[in-house]
Structure 1
Amino acid sequence: MKIPNISIPIVEIPLQKNIQLFLKREDLIHPQISGNKYWKLFYNINSYLDQNPEKPFVITFGGAFSNHIAATAALGKEYNLKTLGIIRGEELQHKWEENPTLKLAHQNGMDFRFVTREVYRDKETLTQILEKEFPDALVIPEGGSNENAVEGIQFMLTEETKSFDYLCTAVGTGGTIAGISKFAPENQKILGFKVVDDQSLYNKVLELSKRNNFELIEAHDGKYGKITDENIRFINDFKQNYGIQLDPIYTGKMMKKVFELIEGDHFPAGSKILTFHTGGLQGISGANELLKKQNRALIDIN
């Protein structure tokens, strides 16, 4: 993998307040390996390939609509790597073809192994079993968050990003904010918007970043993956007003919370805020299928 020789645009989101808000479009970096997933996988894959494995094989973990699973499968196809996804939920074993994320991942060459939620929860033991079964494989954690991922995230920061007072990102497994925290200049404030109700996240991020320069803000609406009607309205209004598609699990929730903080005068007047669009748009089709079954409003993708 090579660092893409492209300029990731930073676009302004015009506001009526004395605050400047911008969005860095990491979602545009690659059609399928988009946003932070590209950078999380970058060092993991390169350090593994530097070992010259005879038959490169990448194993990772994720749920039914995992952006990380989709990105790893796409990367495997592009770089001719065999991939295996350990998927949470044994009930998916005989109906995965009905799931748009898993169907796309399989089209990109990924094989699956479905495990119960109880087995999936103990990923440390599961990883040890996989490493013993496949000693030459690269096993990447859920969400790709490890020390190599943190090193890759540094490429989301550029000369342009140094001019901002605040750097904001959605937080799932913690790798992205850890990378931003580790490599950001000392004068910048790092805000992470938690889309999971995980009270251990702060310590996980601190362990990876080694810097106590970030704040975590709740933005999960009570549960990971929960999509409220307010969230849908915000995403659809945002697209209509600014022409930018947001996903409902990560960037959509972060931006909604950022707007709420701005309206509540959380940021000092004159602040310059940079938010990161971390991709995840592949999950919208699956989300809309679930919303349709619930007879609810859909996320606009037209």
Structure 2
Amino acid sequence: MYNQIIELPILKEKRISLSIKREDLIHPLISGNKYRKLKYNIERLKRSKENTILTFGGAYSNHIAATAYAGKLHGIRTIGVIRGDELKEIWQDNPTLLNASRNGMEFAFVSREDYRVDKRSGLLKRLREEFGDFFLLPEGGTNVLAVKGCEEILKEKDKDFDVISCAVGTGGTLAGIINSAGAKQSILGFPILKGDFLKEDICKFVENTNWKLCPDYHFGGYAKVNINLINFINEVNRTNSLPLDPIYTGKMIFGLIDLISKDYFKPNTKILAIHTGGLQGIKGMNQYLENKNLPLISI
């Protein structure tokens, strides 16, 4: 995917070069890092006798959407365990779940209590009784094969950048980038979740130490937004023809610009930000924003 140069007044003022790798364009329906994470997991499944993927996600999950279409594309049965049993009767009003269903995904709606990681051993037993045997793909798709796929995001030409930045959900994408980055490059991760558990999770997959997390730009947690973030995303799109999702990449770019304004980076630093996709979720977010009488996100 190509690198798009971002032009904003603050970048010129601070003499910072910012480009964004357009991984969102890698595939129209299996977007960005989800394509990378699924690549080797799908290959493994096709070599085995297993033909069913079961995975976890929320109502607007990019991972759920991508897994459903990948399953359709490769003739693999997909099952999505969806957080929130209240969705069982209204899921067809949700654009992400509706499209996943149209792409063949079956759903199991579970309560938020049962969805908790420490409750899943009993849940998985019940799911096997209901659906039969399956290949378990973790929430967000992060495992060793997913990290391997994400190691292919950076190309040889990207070695010229001083800093690589990426939004962080489960940590698999950032781990792949850390593993493939140059020794002199600095890696910044922008978590979209509250909590300090991510560092431990990422360390399971990496040995390099040239990275850090910037934990102050989650806007209150997963899928939380405010009018400042919405206006920022729309302004970037208006001035650079660059659509950003409000869950991941939008928050990461907001964080980068804020750090640049605070002189976090030396003048003449060259930054490459990774666009991890997720634009499918904007439709659902706009439903929420409309109900709250807030501005909508442009696409």
TM-score range (shorter-chain normalised) is over 0.9
Q: Are 1:129 and 2:125 matched, yes or no?
A: yes
Q: Which range moves more in the overlay, 122-131 or 197-206?
A: 122-131
1:120 touches 1:126 (CA, 8 Å); kept in 2? Answer: no
Q: Are 1:216 and 2:209 matched, yes or no?
A: no
2:16 touches 2:268 (CA, 8 Å); kept in 1? Answer: yes
Q: Residues 131, 106 of structure 1: CA spacing in aligned structure 2 closer, same or farther, 3 A cutoff? A: closer
Matches within 5 A, 1:1-302: 8-14=1-7, 15-16=11-12, 17-53=14-50, 56-122=51-117, 124-125=120-121, 128-129=124-125, 132-133=128-129, 136-218=133-215, 219-301=217-299
Cα distance in 1 between the residues matched to 2:157 and 2:36: 18
1:131 touches 1:137 (CA, 8 Å); kept in 2? Answer: no
Cα distance in 1 between the residues matched to 2:64 and 2:83: 11
Q: Normalising by structure 2, report the TM-score.
A: 0.94
String of CA shifts for 1:6-45, please: whole Å, max 9, x gaps: xx11011123131111000000000010000000111111
The aligned counterpart of 1:3 is none
2:114 touches 2:123 (CA, 8 Å); kept in 1? Answer: no
The aligned counterpart of 1:4 is none
2:152 touches 2:180 (CA, 8 Å); kept in 1? Answer: no
The aligned counterpart of 1:5 is none
Please state how far the C-alpha of 1:77 moved relative to its aligned partner: 1.1
Matched to 1:117, the amino acid is R
Q: Which range moves more in the overlay, 212-221 or 121-130?
A: 121-130
- Please give the secondary structure, in 2, of the residue aligned with 1:282: helix
Please state how far the C-alpha of 1:198 moved relative to its aligned partner: 2.4
Cα distance in 2 between the residues matched to 1:78 and 1:231: 35
1:190 touches 1:214 (CA, 8 Å); kept in 2? Answer: yes
Structure 1: state its 5+ residue gaps.
1-7
String of CA shifts for 1:161-218, please: whole Å, max 9, x gaps: 1111111000011110011112212111010001100211001001122332210002
- Please give the secondary structure, in 2, of the residue aligned with 1:230: helix
Please state how far the C-alpha of 1:135 moved relative to its aligned partner: 6.4
Matched to 2:3, the amino acid is I
2:41 touches 2:145 (CA, 8 Å); kept in 1? Answer: yes
- Please give the secondary structure, in 2, of the residue aligned with 1:249: coil
Structure 2: state its 5+ residue gaps.
none
Matched to 2:139, the amino acid is E
Cα distance in 1 between the residues matched to 2:38 and 2:56: 13
- Please give the secondary structure, in 1, of the residue aligned with 2:214: strand
Q: Residues 179, 126 of structure 1: CA spacing in aligned structure 2 closer, same or farther, 3 A cutoff? A: farther
1:175 touches 1:205 (CA, 8 Å); kept in 2? Answer: yes
Matched to 1:226, the amino acid is K
Matched to 1:221, the amino acid is F
Matched to 1:89, the amino acid is G
String of CA shifts for 1:221-269, please: whole Å, max 9, x gaps: 1221101100100000000010010000000000011011111110111
RMSD: 1.4
Cα distance in 1 between the residues matched to 2:39 and 2:249: 21
Percent of paired sites with the same residue: 47
Please state how far the C-alpha of 1:127 moved relative to its aligned partner: 6.7
Please state how far the C-alpha of 1:128 moved relative to its aligned partner: 4.3
Cα distance in 2 between the residues matched to 1:48 and 1:212: 32
